Amino acid sequence: MAIVLQESLRGLFYAPYYAALALGAYDREGIEVHFVSAATPGAAPNALFDGSADVSWGGPMRVNQLYQKRADCDLVCFGEAVTRDPFLLVGRERRLNFTTADLMSARIATVSEVPTPWLCLQEDLRRAGLDPDKLDRVADRGMGENMAALRRGDIDVVQLFQPLAEELIADGTGHLWYAAADRGPCSYTTFYTRRATLAAKREEMAGLVRGLYRTQKWLHRTSDQTLAETVQPYFPTVSQSLLRAALVRYRALGIWGHNPILPRDGYERLKAGLVSGGFVGAGTPFETAVDNSLAEAAVRADPPSL
């Protein structure tokens, strides 16, 4: 049984998915996986509709986006790996007692590569009674450019994922202000596919989810060093020490779920940011966007760890 599995973006917070590939988790389930990368994050869903990919991993954000854009959308999330927001705010000055109100007096550069980090952060601000439209915000530059701007002193705080945040912290340029994972459950990354494909290739998709669950068990039991060594091939330009430090921080923040079931509260928190940020209208109901049946079956079967 073969499927085409697509990543939308290379990111360290996807470590459970990379580990599953590296450890042969899908092979153990009898699934031959052809791994491909989308040209851009926004292009990833198109491959599911044109048939060049069977399944992708990414955020429920994309599923909500496509339901708003396409009348024929039948996308569904079915195997969560990243259950909390992996983005961090890193500032030039140390801020030990940070609150979101501090951002109102800072010049901030937010992520432009994908919309979810900003949409979730602006919802944090709204829940704190703050107006995100009043931020002094740079919104149109890439994370690499924003890192350089922080080093030059052109901005006060940047929004980054790992290992970029860890790089600034390690060399003393930056200080951690806020880990978005601290807001609690916020479903960030899951397998998703078309419902038609899920039905046609249900056995293969079930094998994917079981393989992910095996990997999740392994990840939460293995050492930080072993995890870093396992995913290193996917990040060949990152030093082993920096990679390990970045993964240690992610593990401590609890961004990776212990099983592939996508929780309703995490989905609703993510969707709230999409709605309040004007990215979608009412958003897609949980029952439409999520099918936990394969994940629940995997948990009941309780396959051994890798």
pLDDT in tens, 48-103: 999 999 999 998 999 999 999 999 999 999 999 999 999 999 999 999 899 999 99
Q: Is the pLDDT of residue 195 over 90?
A: yes
Q: Residue 124 — very low, low, confident or very high, per pLDDT cuts 50/70/90?
A: very high
Average pLDDT of the chain is 97
Closest CA to 231 of 209, 254, 256, 266: 256
Query: What confidence tens digit (pLDDT) does each residue in 147-193 have?
Result: 999 999 999 999 999 999 999 999 999 999 999 999 999 999 999 99
Q: Which residue has the tokens 């990379």?
A: 18
Q: What pLDDT is stored for residue 86 in this prediction? A: 98
Give the residue-averaged pLDDT of 222-228: 98
Q: What is the mean pLDDT of residues 291-306?
A: 96
* pLDDT value, residue 1: 83
What is the mean pLDDT of the segment spanning 102-115?
97
Give the percent of the chain with pLDDT over 70: 100
Confidence at 290, pLDDT banded by 50, 70, 90: very high
Res 59: pLDDT: 86
pLDDT at 148: 98
Q: Which of 38, 63, 50, 36 is nearest to 197 (CA)?
A: 50
Among left, alpha and beta (phi > 0; psi -120 to 50; other), residue 283 is: left
Give the β-pairing of 157-160 and 2-7.
unpaired
